[in-house]
Structure 1
């Protein structure tokens, strides 16, 4: 599940005179499966969990949303998890036209009775309703911090009672000493997956202005303020975590 063909990620392998802000463009699309599996510890386990949690929380005659769907790996997991439910449809949204185009091709390669609508749009502007499962798989961290509460409030309002938000994020520890340990462990993970020091350094410089990460405490507090009665980390590896929040 989520295993798509991919070119090796070598975007940051050569020295760059200027490291520009990270963009989900066609170059990234071509290497994205390799990039995310070598960069995000536990990614395949998170996808498997999304399928399991969808099976548990998806409701008949409701809509499932994958916000920031990239190439559709989480969408496929949700579709598999909801395969036995009647009247379910999925809306997958991403603001990268290159990602959306490739996502449609990937989804067309897997037969399913569940219809999926893939939309190129800003998740901050889409209309949502009658939702039982909403997934944000490493998406909220790219939303400007001052707009995150509003995005999550709109998600909460769209969820049916008993619906669930599945939120996976890179995070920072509130304890600087522990944060340094987690960062080092993540870099060791990337080295073990073949990334050089140059690649790690240049990727970090490219992404630091576009990905602002929160603490887990901040995530839980924000979810409580919005109205979620329950939130829990269900998976963590180093400074990457997946949470579920139930309405």
Structure 2
């Protein structure tokens, strides 16, 4: 379905409810620059590290697109686990998994409360930014502790610039991108208002510091477009 959620006046904060779940794949492709390309990049990097029966988590898996693509491209059988706290998202994820014939364990749970077994890979696509800063640092520590000694964490985030002028320019360029995808200025302003105090982005440097402070040996930016970035962290 085509994303038309913000054509009408929104009177609540953004949430991943049934309305959003029903158009989420279209929303991602039209709202996140180079989403498909960064997803492909995530999978290509991931395949360098994965072996038979390795455990992979996707935190905030939404409709499970990334895990499905990983399952399709891996030459090994993997234990794929998607976690999300939106039942609407997971219902759609379940249907997609069956349609593609990919075996994925889907958990409806809070990322901080659920237990993780030792994993080779943990993925988080535009999820951390929705977690409050203090809780975000706790989650990163939990991710680090849950990874095997040679495990990796691949995550994508919306980022901000510490330079106010550059940050404003980045936002303007991003809004131009959204207009090119068919969103009106009204839709853009409605979504911006709905996301206020819900989506809290860090700078690129803050993201890397948070990762290194948790104990990771290295954190590299492997893709960046204006105010969107993808990172790989090595334990």
Aligned residue for 1:162, secondary structure, equals strand
How does the TM-score come out when normalised to structure 2?
A: 0.96
1:46 is aligned, of 38, 45, 58, to: 38
Question: Shift of the alpha carbon at 1:19?
Answer: 3.0
- The answer for the alignment partner of 2:168 in structure 1 is 180
**1:164 aligns to 2:156 (yes or no):** no
Render the CA deviation track for 1:139-192: whole Å, top value 9, x for unaligned.
Answer: 000111111111011110111122110110001011111111111110000000
Question: Shift of the alpha carbon at 1:78?
Answer: 2.4
Aligned residue for 2:94, secondary structure, equals helix
**1:145 aligns to 2:137 (yes or no):** no
Distance of 2:43 and 2:93 partners within structure 1: 18
Render the CA deviation track for 1:7-30: whole Å, top value 9, x for unaligned.
Answer: 11111113x2x5310011111111
Instruction: Give 5+ residue unaligned stretches, structure 1.
Output: 1-6
Show the 5 A alignment for 1:85-104: 85-86=76-77, 88-104=78-94
Aligned residue for 2:48, secondary structure, equals helix
Distance of 1:27 and 1:116 partners within structure 2: 24
Instruction: Give 5+ residue unaligned stretches, structure 2.
Output: none
1:190 is aligned, of 178, 196, 202, to: 178
Aligned residue for 1:165, secondary structure, equals strand
Question: Shift of the alpha carbon at 1:60?
Answer: 2.9
**1:8 aligns to 2:2 (yes or no):** yes
Distance of 1:90 and 1:110 partners within structure 2: 14
Render the CA deviation track for 1:96-131: whole Å, top value 9, x for unaligned.
Answer: 00000110100111124xx31011111111111220
How many equivalent residue pairs? Answer: 235
- The answer for the alignment partner of 1:37 in structure 2 is 29
How does the TM-score come out when normalised to structure 1?
A: 0.92
